[in-house]
Amino acid sequence: MEFAPLFRNLPPYVVALLLLQPLAGCSDQNSAANRSTNVQTAAEPTPKATAKLVVAFGDSLYAGYGVLPSESFPTELQKALTARGVSVTVQNAGVSGDTSSAGLRRLAFTLDGLTRKPDLFMVNLGGNDMLRGIAPAETRTNLIAICKELKKRGIPIMLTGMVAAPNMGGDYARGFNPIYADLAKKFDATLYPFFLDGVVSDPALMQADRMHPNPHGVDVIVNKITPLVASTLGK
């Protein structure tokens, strides 16, 4: 059977999610390799005392799935901030396949492995929860626990949100979509509502899997989010 005619009239985001829901589990096969990478990242030399420290803590969208390390979101964000005159180190703490519960389990390890307290902790989790159909209430509970731990340690938070795919249904979307704005308000966190905004609907900016941005897509995301990160660091 040819799948193209079945999906021709569907929006790209819906097609991507319909095709790639099984890959959420497959991504976990890469988690061990990514986790070892994160351990090494946490042991990097201490940045200059005057430099800001930003930690990008999330799933494959932060980890840099399908692109070179030099093309990943954290690396490109650091370049963009530096170009704006911000002295900063952006540390990649992304793990492909992570759900909000997996992120919560490794949060303390990540924080304890840092050389110093971050000036900003960016969180991008929940996309894999949505792909797996995990109840939004569970995702909310896990993200609340993450935010509580960060607030307890006095670490500023930035949430980069996700949006439920249309094929998840209206009830799921009503439970999932408000999570990030609600938590941003509750924990006085900076909010970037949708990480893939302006990218996921453009095939030229996405990898062949239609789920992860290609290097051009990463650049678009970075250009859109950098001013918000810079202003947050400047507060």
User: Residues 36, 201, 209, 216: which is the catalytic one?
Assistant: 209
Our answer to whether residue 129 is catalytic in this structure is: no
* Contact (CB, 8 A) for 112 and 55: no
User: Residues 27, 60, 72, 96: which is the catalytic one?
Assistant: 60
Identify the three-state secondary structure at position 228: helix
Our answer to whether residue 98 is catalytic in this structure is: no
What does the buried/exposed string (b/e) look like for 189-204 if buried means 16 or more CB atoms within 10 Å of the residue's CB? bbbbeebbbebbeeee
DSSP calls for 142-156: HHHHHHHHHHHTT--
Our answer to whether residue 31 is catalytic in this structure is: no
Order the strands of the 52-58 sheet from edge to edge: 88-94, 52-58, 120-124, 157-160, 190-192
Identify the three-state secondary structure at position 52: strand
Place of tokens 């990898």: 207
d(CA 35, CA 93): 8
Among 231, 218, 191, CA closest to 75: 218
Place of tokens 């051009």: 216
Catalytic residue numbers read: 60, 209, 212
